[in-house]
Amino acid sequence: MNKDANTAATQGSPAVKPVCAHCGGDRIVRDASVHWKRSTSEWALDDTQEPNFFCDTCNVEGIDIVQWIAVDPEAELPVMIGARVRIRDRRLIGGDRFKDREGIVVRENSLEGFYVNLDMTPRERVKKVELVMPRHLEVLWLSEPPQP
Ligand SMILES: [Zn+2]
């Protein structure tokens, strides 16, 4: 889990749900354990375990099989660390060579831009990192739900 994601601005975030990265199904389950909490006299969920997700549809499991998407497909997800994004046309003079490229948001910049770790093309030899303003990013999915 990424601590930086908790600090990103998420006001007005749409409701999100986890879906399977392999099949897109939303029947995701997790194992959990509980302990008896004397102070409240009820079973309390243990949060010390590593999150492990199972997909009931295609039976894959793991800590990284889940993508968080908006419940309402029309809703825009917030840009945050760990988000998978696509770069919109920035209408740069001479054309935008990174238009439609996808990648993962790795860091926030003080000027309110975000550094995107771009997926490598077959021709590239080194990873490219591009600083992009949030309005030029389309968020495809989040690696974890936004914090309220
Ligand atoms: Zn699945």
pLDDT at 33: 86
State the residue range of the domain holding 34. Answer: 3-141
Look at residue 56 and tell me if it is in a domain.
Answer: yes
The band of 147, judged by pLDDT with boundaries at 50, 70 and 90, is: confident
Look at residue 147 and tell me if it is in a domain.
Answer: no
For the segment 44-68, what is each residue's pLDDT rounded down to a tens digit?
988 766 778 999 999 999 988 999 9
Measured in Å, residue 134 CA sits from the centre of ligand 1 at 30
Look at residue 101 and tell me if it is in a domain.
Answer: yes
Measured in Å, residue 16 CA sits from the centre of ligand 1 at 17
Burial grade of 142 (CB within 10 A; 0-12, 13-18, 19 or more): buried
Measured in Å, residue 69 CA sits from the centre of ligand 1 at 15
Helix, strand or coil, per DSSP, at residue 116 = strand
Measured in Å, residue 142 CA sits from the centre of ligand 1 at 17
Query: Greatest CA span in the chain, whole angstroms?
Result: 67
Measured in Å, residue 24 CA sits from the centre of ligand 1 at 6
For the ranges 3-7, 50-54, 90-94, 142-146, the lowest mean pLDDT is seen at 3-7
When comparing pLDDT for 2 and 49, which is higher? 49
DSSP state, residue 14? P
Look at residue 67 and tell me if it is in a domain.
Answer: yes
Specify whether the CB–CB gap between 46 and 33 falls below 8 A: yes
Alpha carbons 141 and 76: distance in angstroms, whole number: 10
Look at residue 146 and tell me if it is in a domain.
Answer: no
Look at residue 45 and tell me if it is in a domain.
Answer: yes
Measured in Å, residue 63 CA sits from the centre of ligand 1 at 13
The band of 123, judged by pLDDT with boundaries at 50, 70 and 90, is: very high
- CA atoms within 13 A of residue 126's CA, in its CB half-sphere: 3
Look at residue 85 and tell me if it is in a domain.
Answer: yes
Measured in Å, residue 59 CA sits from the centre of ligand 1 at 6
